[in-house]
Structure 1
Amino acid sequence: MPSFLYIFAVAFTITWFFGYNSKMETGTEKVEQEENNAMNKVDLNENNKVVEITSPLKGEVLPLNEVKDEAFASGILGNGIAINPKEGVLVSPVNGVVNALLPTLHAIGITTQEGVELLIHIGMDTVKLKGEGFKAFVKQGDEIKIGQKLIEFDIDLLKSKGYCLDVPIVITNMMNYTEVVCTKETNINIGENLLSIK
């Protein structure tokens, strides 16, 4: 009987020790994992560079929510800003690649060297013009540089046909970024800072 009690006591002690130790280890691992996750987030934030987007147009700067198109104004298509152009020339706001150019030439998609995906849409409902009044100087797949002419569009023609000229410039892969800072300027020239993406 004393031998049985001794064996029981040893077994209980071993079980209690390893059981307790496992719980402690699990808890410690969890805390360490949470600390590592937090450190990784900090490291990512420190390593992420701010991507600057220059203005592709000369004109009046508008908050995106003032654009007369619900898809843009609501932010469904991405975060960004809009410009009411004073001239019918759209240049590249970044160094990157043309990843989409619609046949109607009223919209262009660009991926920056840093991986930011931009959509620039010239006017509202201008797809209905089927390319009339638009001329492209690039094609899909072209590498582009800041300030390079992308598209010319006939402002007078668009106005005469009753089209809104607002040009939304939106980031379509916002899930990869935490913040977009828009210029405070109400009027902007080509090449001036328009957006900062973090």
Structure 2
Amino acid sequence: MFKKLFGSKDKKTEEILIAPATGKILALEEVPDPVFSQKMMGDGLAIEPSEGRIVSPVKGEIIQVFPTKHAIGIKTEIGLELLIHIGLETVNMKGEGFTTHVKEGDKVEVGTELVIFDLDLVKEKAASTITPIVITNFDAVETFEKIGSGQATAGSTELAKVKKK
């Protein structure tokens, strides 16, 4: 009876991941870093950004903003934990060229601006601008279907459909 009243049977278990950056969509296997390409942190995909702006790919809560501002963790409404890692070996930049617009505990919507970064500086000082988007609690995922290819537009291009167990 209570299940009917409170609708717990219809609990949302699917999430659409929207592009957090404008640029070229890549398979995670194409990322030139084994931590990501071998899915050591989880599965997902990546974008090679054409502009220095990262937005939220989901509705959720910011669970981590790295002190070096190069990575953001978000927990979605259905409990997926996403890591957006801007560039490769950008931790060595110690935050130079990165400006965060959110803090831990902030609620975000799809398209909420997270980080602005100097794309040219990242090209100059880091190994790559490629930005992995990884589901770090992938053991909680039942299905992961990539639906985006080619070019992505931040805040609007659908990248993947994820169903939670």
TM-score by length of 1: 0.74
1:157 aligns with 2:124: no
Residues 156-182 of structure 1, C-alpha deviation per residue, up to 9 Å, x if partnerless? Answer: 111122530000001111111121111
1:76 aligns with 2:4: no
Q: Which moved more, 1:182-191 or 1:137-146?
A: 182-191
- CA 1:125/1:162 → structure 2, altered by over 3 Å: closer, same or farther? closer
**Structure 2: distance between partners of 1:149 and 1:111:** 16
1:143 aligns with 2:107: yes
Q: Which moved more, 1:72-81 or 1:176-185?
A: 176-185
Point out the structure with the larger strand share: 2
Note the C-alpha offset of 1:47. Answer: 6.7
1:62 aligns with 2:26: yes
Counterpart selection for 2:13 from 45, 49, 53: 49
Instruction: For structure 1, list consecutive stretches of 5 or more residues without a partner in the other structure.
Output: 1-45
Note the C-alpha offset of 1:145. Answer: 1.1
TM-score by length of 2: 0.88
**Structure 1: distance between partners of 2:15 and 2:122:** 32
Note the C-alpha offset of 1:183. Answer: 2.4
Note the C-alpha offset of 1:197. Answer: 0.4
Note the C-alpha offset of 1:184. Answer: 4.1
Supply the RMSD in Å over aligned alpha carbons: 1.4
Residues 148 and 160 in structure 2, CA contact (< 8 A), matched pair in contact too: no
Amino acid at match of 2:157: E
**Structure 2: distance between partners of 1:73 and 1:128:** 20
Amino acid at match of 1:127: V
1:197 aligns with 2:162: yes
**Structure 2: distance between partners of 1:48 and 1:154:** 37
Compare relative contact order (CA 8 Å, sep 6+) and give the higher one, 1 or 2: 2
- CA 1:76/1:146 → structure 2, altered by over 3 Å: closer, same or farther? same
**Structure 1: distance between partners of 2:126 and 2:140:** 37
**Structure 1: distance between partners of 2:43 and 2:148:** 16
Partner of 1:168: 132
Point out the structure with the larger helix share: 1
1:1-198 correspondence to structure 2 within 5 Å: 49-190=13-154, 191-198=156-163
Residues 93 and 126 in structure 2, CA contact (< 8 A), matched pair in contact too: no
Rg larger for = 1
How many residues end up aligned between the 2 structures? 153
- CA 1:162/1:146 → structure 2, altered by over 3 Å: closer, same or farther? closer
Partner of 2:3: none
Partner of 2:6: none
Residues 14 and 78 in structure 2, CA contact (< 8 A), matched pair in contact too: no
Amino acid at match of 2:158: N
Residues 39-92 of structure 1, C-alpha deviation per residue, up to 9 Å, x if partnerless? Answer: xxxxxxx97632111111100011101101101000110010000000100001
